[in-house]
Amino acid sequence: MVQVSSTAISDVDYDEASGQLTIVFKRDGARYTYSGVSQGEYASLIYALSTGRAFNFNIKDLFPFRRG
């Protein structure tokens, strides 16, 4: 897990082999795993000036996910 500087997201993890991106939210500790995320999209997320904004525009609602 990589800790990010964000008001909404606490941790991000990425498995390159499976293309799975896991996001842990600060508010309630909810964990969501997104499928089909490329390494480039992951890198863009963790190096963004605003991790939350990058998540909202580039990941959320664009990739299938599961909670838990």
Note the pLDDT of residue 45: 95
Cross-strand bridge partners of residue 3: 11
pLDDT tens digit sequence for 10-68: 999 999 999 999 999 999 999 999 999 999 999 999 999 999 999 999 999 999 999 98
Q: What is the pTM of this model?
A: 0.92
Please state, rounded to an integer, the average pLDDT across all residues of the chain. 95
* Alpha-helix residue ranges (DSSP H) falling in the chain: 39-46, 51-58
Domain of residue 23: give its range: 2-67
pLDDT tens digit sequence for 9-23: 999 999 999 999 999
Instruction: Kindly state the tokens that stand for 5.
Output: 């500087």
Number of domains in the chain: 1
